[in-house]
């Protein structure tokens, strides 16, 4: 039963004390988040992992790329676990190393050495390493603007992996026109662009988040026609049209900060993952909060981490027999190069 599982998790946490550290992303289920030591968005979680020098076991309540980042940012002796190895991220899987190398070859032919690769942290360690090795960096939705400015100080052009929407929304906010952006389609291996190649300033990888792409301008129209006083705030992984038509947009952290500072009785339609929207509604009963998408939109892979998997993973760690499929170990060479990309980000933002 749930009560039994909760008891098991609490028991292991008490027995391991400070040897165990459990961070959790805001999109995790309540049944999991209640046990985490710290919650955060991707940037906060990366920072917290880098600050963790004591814990022997880091049990990451989030998705695979986040656990990989924690492994890269912690010491060799610290062991990182993901309670369900199937908790991946469909966006991160949209850019693999071979595809990226092929794209880079083409871009180098067209643009010479003028391109710097940047990757959203929602990417595999191998893609972070690809960027790190070429002078590039990682970024998150909280620091995307600052990182793009930094990148343009280094090179004329940016290859932005793997989320075209975060790339387009952020570049547009910095004053780059849509016609100065090209889209690289990794399936067709072609670059879609309007203006001549020399005018292109950012090359967007054609990837997306399957959760945030489900918010539509139709849903915005419906909210506006039903309740004119309901404000709409969306995550920049949503499409450009949705972001343009919303009242506000911003990272997970910005959405949380905005709701926390909202005037009593104000009404909100929120365009981000369902577990977070539901939690915001529960924690702010003086506000009216619901998802922008009436059909709701859970991140299925985030939701793979549940109480049962957490208890199973922790039981094995406490017994000294951790399950190999739960352990996340990024190969040494990949770690070194990915660390360069992460450190460039952490030094900026």
Contact of residue 301 among ligand 13P, ligand SF4, none (CB under 5-8 Å per partner type): ligand SF4
| Mutual angle of helices 144-154 and 332-348, in 10-degree steps | 100
305 DSSP 8-state letter: -
291 binds ligand 13P (CB under 6 A): no
* Ramachandran angles phi, psi of 201, nearest 5°: -110, -25
61 DSSP 8-state letter: B
48 binds ligand 13P (CB under 6 A): no
Binding segment (CB under 6 A) for ligand 13P, from list 98-106, 139-147, 259-267, 337-345: 139-147
Q: Based on CB atoms, which residue is closest to ligand 13P, 74 or 141?
A: 141
Contact of residue 90 among ligand 13P, ligand SF4, none (CB under 5-8 Å per partner type): ligand SF4
Residue 235 known to bind ligand: yes
CB of 114 to ligand SF4, least distance (A): 29
8 Å CB contact between 160 and 202: yes
d(CA 84, CA 60): 10
Contact of residue 210 among ligand SF4, ligand 13P, none (CB under 5-8 Å per partner type): ligand SF4
90 binds ligand SF4 (CB under 6 A): yes
Contact of residue 42 among ligand 13P, ligand SF4, none (CB under 5-8 Å per partner type): ligand 13P
Binding segment (CB under 6 A) for ligand SF4, from list 98-106, 187-195, 206-214, 307-315: 206-214
Binding mask 159-188 for ligand SF4 (x = CB under 6 A): ------------------------------
Contact of residue 141 among ligand SF4, ligand 13P, none (CB under 5-8 Å per partner type): ligand 13P
Residue 219: name the closest of 298, 299, 294 by CA: 294
Residue 299 known to bind ligand: yes
Q: CB under 8 Å to 45, separation ≥6 — which residues?
A: 23, 25, 38, 62, 66, 69, 70
CB atoms inside a 10 Å sphere around CB 288: 15
Binding mask 114-133 for ligand 13P (x = CB under 6 A): --------x-----------
Bridge partners (DSSP) listed for residue 120 = 139
CB of 220 to ligand 13P, least distance (A): 20
d(CA 339, CA 333): 10
Where do runs of H (alpha helix) occur along the chain?
A: 2-16, 30-33, 42-51, 64-73, 97-111, 125-133, 144-154, 164-173, 217-226, 240-245, 252-260, 274-283, 307-318, 332-348
Could you tell me which residues are annotated as the binding site for iminosuccinate?
Answer: 25, 42, 120-122, 141, 235-237, 252
Residues near ligand 13P, by CB under 6 A: 41-42, 122, 140-142, 209, 237, 251-252
């Amino acid at each position: 039963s749930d009560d039994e599982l909760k008891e098991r998790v609490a028991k292991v946490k008490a027995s391991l004390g400070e040897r165990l550290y459990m961070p959790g992303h805001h999109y995790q289920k309540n049944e999991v988040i209640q046990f985490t030591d710290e919650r955060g968005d991707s940037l906060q979680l990366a920072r917290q992992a880098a600050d963790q020098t004591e814990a022997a076991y880091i049990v990451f309540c989030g998705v695979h790329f986040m656990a990989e980042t924690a492994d890269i940012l912690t010491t060799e002796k610290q062991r990182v676990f993901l309670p369900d190895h199937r908790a991946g991220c469909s966006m991160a899987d949209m850019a693999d190393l071979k595809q990226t190398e092929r794209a880079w070859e083409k871009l180098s032919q067209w643009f010479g050495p003028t391109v710097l690769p940047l990757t959203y942290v929602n990417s595999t360690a191998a893609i972070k390493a690809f960027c790190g090795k070429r002078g590039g960096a990682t970024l998150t939705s909280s620091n995307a603007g600052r990182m793009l400015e930094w990148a343009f100080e280094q090179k004329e052009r940016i290859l932005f992996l793997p989320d075209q929407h975060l790339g387009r929304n952020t570049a547009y906010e910095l004053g780059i026109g849509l016609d100065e952006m090209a889209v690289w389609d990794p399936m067709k291996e072609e670059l879609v662009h309007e203006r001549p190649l020399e005018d292109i300033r950012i090359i967007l990888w054609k990837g997306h988040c399957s959760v945030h792409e489900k918010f539509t301008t139709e849903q915005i129209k419906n909210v506006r026609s039903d309740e004119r006083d309901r404000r709409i705030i969306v995550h920049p992984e949503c499409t450009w049209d949705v972001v343009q038509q919303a009242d506000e947009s911003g990272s997970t952290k910005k959405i949380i900060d905005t709701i926390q500072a909202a005037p009593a009785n104000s009404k909100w339609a929120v365009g981000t993952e369902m577990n977070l929207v539901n939690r915001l509604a529960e924690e702010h009963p003086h506000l009216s909060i619901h998802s922008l998408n009436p059909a709701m939109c859970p991140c299925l892979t985030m939701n793979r981490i549940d109480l049962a998997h957490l208890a199973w993973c922790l039981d094995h760690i406490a017994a000294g027999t951790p399950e190999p499929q739960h352990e996340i170990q990024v190969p040494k060479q990949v770690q070194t190069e990915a660390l360069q990309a992460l450190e460039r980000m952490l030094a900026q933002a």
